[in-house]
Amino acid sequence: MDANLWLPLVGIPIIVAGFALRFNPLMVVVAAGLATGLAVGMDLGVLLETFGEKFMNSRQIASIILILPIIALLEKYGLKERAQSWVASIRSATTGRILMLYLFVRQFTCSLGLTSLGGQAQTVRPLLFPMAEGAALSKYGELPQALRDKIAAHSAACDNIALFFGEDIFIAFGAVLLMTSFLKENGITDVEPLMIGLWAIPTAICALVIHLIRLSWLDAQIAREVQQWQQGGAA
């Protein structure tokens, strides 16, 4: 097999090694992109121009400039405390149930292409995590820091899983269109975005069910860890 066919894949081991060694994710991705571009013969100037163009066209800039300062201002004036007090007033609310509800709603909306309705910066950090943590605080009182970190991790994971598997169902999603274009360029012309979206549904359902099962165990895990922490403190 021609070695040139493997050159576009040179960025993959760079990403794997960089993440395994816990280097800065942004630097790892940039290094992988530069290595891939140079490996396939792109001129350095053209490559840097492409990086700049994609960066300027990215909607993430709007998130940095607008969303994060707004969230910071809301948190300064008690958004987290209000979210926790509201959850505490709902007797049936538990950490697991709140996260299960968010997971279901988030994945459903992502499958319709509404990926901007949630997110780590605008939803998980200021709302979902405080609500999930508030449900545990309302039931058990003080929590150990390790347990707070676990609830935060589960909150972030809910958004990531729902977004990752939900957005592939939406036929106008960029990755779906990219896969369709790539296949057609390589002679596979009978694949349409609708077909890719339909085949993504079983995977999304499996991911949803598996993670819902994991979250259904979370409340029991929290109760057990709080009990162990309280017994250790009493001893």
- Shared domain check, 133 and 80: yes
Instruction: Single out the residue in 41, 58, 75 at which a domain terminates.
Output: 58
- Shared domain check, 21 and 70: no
Q: Which domain holds residue 173?
A: 62-234
What does the pLDDT profile of the chain (235 residues) look like in tens digits? 455 667 777 888 888 888 888 787 778 878 888 888 888 787 877 777 777 776 655 555 555 556 666 666 777 777 777 777 878 788 888 999 999 999 999 999 999 988 888 888 788 988 899 999 999 998 888 899 999 999 999 999 999 999 999 988 888 777 777 778 877 777 877 878 888 888 889 999 999 999 999 999 999 999 999 999 888 765 5
- Shared domain check, 113 and 28: no
- Shared domain check, 91 and 183: yes
DSSP the chain: --GGGGGGGTHHHHHHHHHHTT--HHHHHHHHHHHHHHHTT--HHHHHHHHHHHHHH-THHHIIIIIHHHHHHHHHTTHHHHHHHHHHT-TT--HHHHHHHHHHHHHHHHHTT-GGG--IIIIIIIIIHHHHHHHHHHHHSS--HHHHHHHHHHHHHHHHHHHHHHGGGSTTSHHHHHHHHHHHHTT--S--HHHHHHHHHHHHHHHHHHHHHHHHTHHHHHHHHHHHHHHHHH-
- Shared domain check, 113 and 210: yes
- Shared domain check, 222 and 191: yes
- Shared domain check, 96 and 68: yes
- Shared domain check, 6 and 120: no
- Shared domain check, 183 and 91: yes
> How far are the Cα atoms of 31, 77, 78, 124, 145 from residue 151, in angstroms, in the given order?
33, 23, 20, 11, 10
- Shared domain check, 69 and 50: no
- Shared domain check, 29 and 74: no
> How far are the Cα atoms of 40, 51, 55, 115, 188 from residue 47, in angstroms, in the given order?
11, 6, 12, 29, 29
Number of domains in the chain: 2
- Shared domain check, 224 and 136: yes
